[in-house]
Chain A
Amino acid sequence: MAIIEAKNIHRKFGEGALTAHILKGIDVTIEKGEFVAIMGKSGAGKSTLMYQLSVLDTPTEGSVVIDGVDVVALNERESTLFRLNTLGYVFQNYALVPDLSAEENVMLTLLMRDYDWKTAKAMARAAIDGVGLEGKYKNLPAELSGGEQQRVSVARAVAGKPKILFADEPTANLDTVSGTQVVDLIADLNKTVGQTVVMVTHEREYALGCDRIINMEDGLVTSIEQLK
Chain B
Amino acid sequence: MQTFRIGLLLGFRQIQRANTWTTVLIIFVMMLTFLNLIAVSGILVGLIAGSERAVQDKSIGDLVITPLDDEEKILQTETIRRVLDTVPEVSAYSIRYQESVQVTANYKTRRDFGIEPNAIGARALGIDPVAENAVTALAENVIEGEYLNPDESGYILIGALNLDRYTAGFADITGALEDVYPGDSVRVTVNEMSREFTVKGIINAKAGDVASFVYIPEKELRRLSNTASRDADEIVVRLADKTPETGAVMKSILLQQDIDSLAEIRTFQEALPKFITDIKQTFNILGTFIGAVGIIVASITIFIIIFINAISRRQQIGILKGIGINRRAIEVAYVLQSAFYALVGSLLGVLVTYGFLVGYFDANPIDFPFSDGILVAEPIGTLYRFIILFIITLFAGFIPAWIIVRQNTLNSILGRK
Q: Mark contacts of B288-332 with chain A using CB atoms, 8 A cut-off: 1 yes-contact digit, 0 otherwise.
A: 000000000000000000000000000110011111111101000
Residues in A neighbouring B327, C-beta threshold 8 A: 80
Contact (A112, B325) CB under 8 Å given A51-B410, A56-B410, A91-B319: yes
Residues in A neighbouring B13, C-beta threshold 8 A: 97, 99-100, 104
Q: Are A95 and B324 in contact (CB under 8 A)?
A: no
Q: Are B319 and A111 in contact (CB under 8 A)?
A: no
Interface residue count on the A side (C-beta < 8 Å): 28
Q: Are B323 and A77 in contact (CB under 8 A)?
A: no
User: Which of A51, A99, A111, A140 is within 8 Å of B6, CB to CB?
Assistant: A111
Q: A89 at interface (Cβ–Cβ under 8 A)?
A: yes
Contact (A156, B2) CB under 8 Å given A95-B316, A99-B16, A104-B13: no
Interface residue count on the B side (C-beta < 8 Å): 26
Q: A215 at interface (Cβ–Cβ under 8 A)?
A: no
Contact (A98, B2) CB under 8 Å given A84-B323, A85-B324: no
Q: A20 at interface (Cβ–Cβ under 8 A)?
A: no
Q: B195 at interface (Cβ–Cβ under 8 A)?
A: no
Residues in A neighbouring B225, C-beta threshold 8 A: none
Contact (A97, B324) CB under 8 Å given A104-B13, A111-B2: no
Residues in B neighbouring A91, C-beta threshold 8 A: 319, 322, 413
Q: How far is the CA of A95 from the CA of B322 in the complex (A)?
A: 10
Subset of 27 A-B contacts with CB under 8 Å = A56-B410, A57-B410, A80-B327, A83-B322, A83-B324, A84-B324, A88-B323, A89-B323, A91-B322, A95-B316, A95-B319, A95-B322, A95-B323, A97-B320, A99-B10, A99-B13, A99-B14, A100-B13, A104-B13, A108-B9, A108-B325, A109-B325, A111-B9, A112-B6, A112-B325, A113-B324, A157-B323
Closest 5 CB pairs of A and B: A84-B324, A99-B13, A95-B319, A99-B17, A83-B324
Q: Chain A interface (Cβ within 8 Å of chain B)? A: 51, 56-57, 77, 80-81, 83-85, 87-89, 91, 95, 97-100, 104, 108-109, 111-114, 140, 156-157
